[in-house]
Amino acid sequence: MSSSKFASEDRPGPARRGGALTALARVIRYRLIIPLFRSPHPPEFTARGVAVGVFWGLTPLVGAQSFVIAGLWMVARRIGWEFSLLQGLAWTWISNVFTMLPLYYLFYLTGMLMLGDADQAAGYRAFLALWQRATEAADHGFLTRVMLSVRVLGVPALLGCLPWAVAGAWVSYAWSYRIAERRQRKRAAREAARAAAHARDAGLTAP
């Protein structure tokens, strides 16, 4: 992908960016963080789901991620490496309508650097302009979206996403495991305290 393929595009205004950030914060809170804290499953089961979702969320495959994770989930069940399908599907939302293009550009730049072509990388506004022209000219079916990502982003983005996907999966596993384990300990402590209180009350009321 060369810089000559790109054209400039105006940046969104502050109000638009502020609204997008607010909407993104709500998505993160209600679709990702709250379900993680409420998960009743063992820590490793939950953490695997989060890691799988983050890994595929950090790839330029928006539109295909859910299908890939569902297929992986079915295979994982057969080999004894189960993970939370719900968490996996939810955490692909790290790449969403607000973050998708910045992430794609990050993958593209990383890939250009890995290929030794960083000096030929196009600017972000030019990248957005090419993507906009390509999407306006295409129908938006599932296969079309996947092929569009591959055609516009090319080899650099497909290669450049890998370090981010691997690092994101590793960090998210450790983070979510810690959260899930801490919540499980607190839940067990509350249940033990209630059981002890119930036993004391039963002893006091016994004849």
Name which of 115, 120, 96 is nearest 160 in CA terms.
115
Given pLDDT bands bounded at 50, 70 and 90, which one contains residue 149?
A: low
Phi and psi at residue 92, to the nearest 5°: -65, -15
Residues making up the chain, counted from first to last? 207
**Between these two residues, 38 and 140, which has the higher pLDDT value?**
38
Instruction: State residue 22's pLDDT score.
Output: 72
The first and second tokens of residue 110, run together, are: 């990383």
pLDDT of 23 higher than 70: no
Distance of CA 145 to the CA centre of its chain: 18
The answer to whether 101 touches 131, Cβ cutoff 8 Å, is yes
Instruction: Report yes or no on 4 lying in a domain.
Output: no
Query: Is the residue at 186 inside a domain?
Result: yes
Distance between CA 99 and CA 7 in Å, rounded?
A: 21
pLDDT(35) > 70: no
Mean pLDDT along residues 31-46 = 73
Residue 74 placed within a domain: yes
Q: pTM of the predicted model, to two decimals?
A: 0.72
202, burial (CB in 10 Å: exposed 0-12, middle 13-18, buried 19+):
exposed
Q: Is residue 69 part of a domain?
A: yes
Distance, CA of 107 to chain centre:
14
143 within domain boundaries: yes
Per the CB < 8 A criterion, the answer to whether 37 and 87 are in contact is no
In the three-class reduction of DSSP (H, G, I as helix; E, B as strand; rest coil), residue 98 is classed as coil
| Res. 167 pLDDT band, cuts 50 70 90 | very high
Total tally of structural domains belonging to the chain? 1
Give, in degrees to the nearest 5, the angle at Cα 53 between 48 and 56: 125
**Domain span including residue 122:** 13-200
- Considering the chain, what is the average pLDDT of its residues? 77
Query: What residues contact residue 8 under an 8 Å CB cut-off, 6+ apart?
Result: 125, 126, 129
